[in-house]
Amino acid sequence: MTILNHLFQPIQISGMTARNRLMMSAMSINFGVDEHNHVTDQLTAYLAARAWGGAGMVLVGGAGVHPTGLELPGLPALWEDGCILPMKKMADAIRPSGARLGIQLMHGGRQSYHDRKVAPSPIPALAVVKGIPKELTLEEIAELVAAFGDAARRCQEAGADFVEIHAAHGYLINQFLAPNSNHRQDPYGGSFENRIRFLMEVVADIKAKTGDDFPVGLRINGEDYIDNGWTLADALRLAPLLEKKGAAYLHVSAGIYGSTQLTIPSMYVPHGCFIHLAEAVKKVVSIPVVGVGRIKSPEMADQFIREGRVDVIAMGRSLIADPLLPQKARAGDLKTIRPCLGCCLGCIHAVLALEPGGCVVNPDVGREYLMASDEKASVAKKILVVGAGPAGLAAARMAAVQGHQVTLVDAKGQAGGLMRLAARVPGRGEAMDIITFFIHEAERLGVAMRLNTLLNAKLLDDLKPDAVILATGSLPDMPLVKGLFTTKMELCTVTEVLDGKITGDRVLILGGGQAGLMAADFLTEKGREVVVLNRKRHFAEEMSSNDRFYLRERLNQKKVRLIKPVSIKTFADDGVEFSADGKSETLTGFDTVVVAEAMTAVRDAKPLLDGCGAKVYVIGDANTPRNLMLAISEAEETARSL
């Protein structure tokens, strides 16, 4: 059993003792508020699940201190006293868990979603949101300083244990700090001392209104990772000054809108990517320093603390994926932790689209307030799951959790379905983590897994299932395009390529979605020359922007030609004729065409099940080809309904 001696040691932060050194990062989840943007039972239950799951500290993310600064429409508001009672209910629900509740205080500045943006200077955000913000007057700056202090006072009155000032990630305070976004020529701009003035006044106002004993932490950037932005050298100058002002801790992160791929790192980014920044800050202060940056392994978290590089570890998406991660880690049950994949699809892609946040691997996110704990079914049934891809594995696991007798069969010799193929693409090996988790869970829960097994009448007769869940997935569809079936080029699908089929040296890929771009990366890694033809207007729009960024960068570095939107005229013997942007073009000298467009459901086994006497459910891509998030969600919902 892995023993984590350091992560689960208590720590004193100002006048507050946290039971362990694992903090749930403040994240803008974009749900759980009412029409006044006051917190509701939905957000309370979401946070309480992580608090009862064993985190030492949990934070409400992105709480707006002023109407001009709400980053997203679904975030809490702290600008009037009506927010206190709902927050008190949240604090009362979390306090018995033993976790400490923090509220993050934020003003989005130019990175707010609405059209009333304000900022130090009238300079638009570098990415994600549009619009030129209004430049703040001196009177308005004073109003915002007071708004931070009043918001902190309300959090204290509601029973929060601490607050965290968000001075990172390109939001308003960070905009004052960074030369790139602060062009003021008054006491709040220009020199380093002037650019930090707003933050210092905010800290002072909060301390004046909450007292010396109420812990006030800060989230700061170690690097903005943009030209003329805030740097580590700046952070090292700022950190001791914040300690003198009474900061309880410093949480060191990185990136802004414009380097968002680093602010919220995807699976392409190494684990522990910002620890070096926190480590540097720790050397210049004596207050606790919090490290963050794609730390999903409890062993890695414990190691960073053991080595003295940081005092506290902040985890965000890993605790979205599995609220019980701390409990499981402390008990040494690391294989039972449901892993974050770093795909950023449910938690980031949805939120940036102004939709409620979620999680690809955890369908319960945002639904905690509707759910009781999983209890055994009143009647245990015999369940047959056909297909050991992610949907089938998820359904088998949840059915077993419900107490049913589950048999899982798959014609192939390995479980995982399309995820096993996706994990072969460079930089995307973590896609298999969820499959490894499901396989371990199947073994732990007693699921009878039969690989290399075809569904047939004899199997049905032997098992006599009460219900059959068909999760046989999907395969690439062959489009009806002129010349595609008569070309002399080798014709194959993206799944065949990822499964090891050898292609020629020069390859055309038809399809610019995620599958097509991943195939291009896979093939170029093997020395192939690749051109991608996309009949849609955007490449891989189904991916999160920060995940897609790295995939596009890899293809750009390998000089893969990406063409869109194309209209195919005809495939020829060794190439293709098409038009793009009103211009016709012919490509020749190619050996292989790889089709990577639409998928089609595989339901070959369905006729065999008709009349078998069992209730039949069709889930995942076998129902309708979609994505991993919907496949797992549908699988668990189906299994719970048995």
Q: What is the pLDDT of residues 86-145, one digit of tens each?
A: 999 999 999 999 999 999 999 999 999 999 999 999 999 998 899 999 999 999 999 999
Q: How far is residue 233's CA from residue 337's CA, in Å, rounded to a whole number?
A: 38
Task: Name the helix (H) or strand (E) containing 587.
Answer: strand 583-587
Q: Is the same domain home to 158 and 279?
A: yes
Give this prediction's pTM.
0.95
For residue 353, being part of any structural domain is answered with yes
> What does the pLDDT read at residue 629?
97
Q: Is the same domain home to 623 and 536?
A: no
Q: Is the same domain home to 160 and 194?
A: yes
pLDDT > 90 fraction of the chain, expressed in percent and rounded: 96
| CA torsion angle 541 542 547 550 (round to 10) | -40
Written as one letter, the residue type at 220 is I
Q: Is the same domain home to 313 and 443?
A: no
For residue 7, being part of any structural domain is answered with no
Q: Tell me, what CATH number does 617's domain have?
A: 3.40.50.720
Written as one letter, the residue type at 329 is A
Q: How far is residue 486's CA from residue 469's CA, in Å, rounded to a whole number?
A: 39
Q: How far is residue 265's CA from residue 262's CA, in Å, rounded to a whole number?
A: 5
Written as one letter, the residue type at 15 is G
For residue 15, being part of any structural domain is answered with no
Average of pLDDT values for 370-399?
92
- Three-state helix/strand/coil letters over 273-301: CCHHHHHHHHCCCCCCEEECCCCCCHHHH
Q: Is the same domain home to 260 and 274?
A: yes
Tokens at 5, concatenated: 């001696």
Q: Is the same domain home to 346 and 462?
A: no
Residue 373 pLDDT > 70: no
Q: Tell me, what CATH number does 181's domain have?
A: 3.20.20.70
Q: How far is residue 509's CA from residue 590's CA, in Å, rounded to a whole number?
A: 11
Written as one letter, the residue type at 508 is L
Residue pair 312/318 in contact (Cβ under 8 Å)? The answer is no
> What does the pLDDT read at residue 180?
97
Q: How confident is the model at residue 1 (pLDDT cuts 50, 70, 90)?
A: low
Give the residue from 347, 370, 393 where a domain finishes: 370
Q: Is the same domain home to 587 and 605?
A: no
For residue 62, being part of any structural domain is answered with yes
Tokens at 354, concatenated: 């102004």
Q: Tell me, what CATH number does 484's domain have?
A: 3.50.50.60
The contacts of residue 426 (CB under 8 Å, 6+ apart) are 521, 522, 525, 554
Give the residue from 338, 370, 402 where a domain finishes: 370
Q: Is the same domain home to 402 and 464?
A: yes
Number of domains comprising the chain: 3
Is 369 part of the annotated catalytic residue set? Answer: no
Q: How confident is the model at residue 423 (pLDDT cuts 50, 70, 90)?
A: very high
Q: Is the same domain home to 621 and 559?
A: no
Tokens at 258, concatenated: 């414009």
Catalytic residue of the set 171, 225, 268, 550: 171
What is the β-pairing status of strands 576-580 and 566-571?
antiparallel
What confidence tens digit (pLDDT) does each residue in 160-208 have? Answer: 999 999 999 999 999 999 999 999 999 999 999 999 999 999 999 999 9
The per-residue pLDDT of the chain, averaged, comes to: 97
Average of pLDDT values for 264-272?
95
Q: Is the same domain home to 292 and 356?
A: yes
What confidence tens digit (pLDDT) does each residue in 221-244 have? Answer: 999 999 999 999 999 999 999 999
What confidence tens digit (pLDDT) does each residue in 547-557 have? Answer: 999 999 999 99
The contacts of residue 251 (CB under 8 Å, 6+ apart) are 23, 25, 164, 168, 217, 218, 219, 220, 289, 290, 292, 312, 314
Which domain covers residue 507, as residue numbers?
Answer: 478-597
Q: Is the same domain home to 302 and 317?
A: yes
Q: How far is residue 197's CA from residue 189's CA, in Å, rounded to a whole number?
A: 9
The Cα-based distances of 228 to 193, 265, 338, 414 in angstroms read 17, 21, 40, 51
Farthest-apart Cα atoms in the chain, separation = 83
For residue 11, being part of any structural domain is answered with no
Q: Is the same domain home to 409 and 357?
A: no
Average of pLDDT values for 242-259?
97
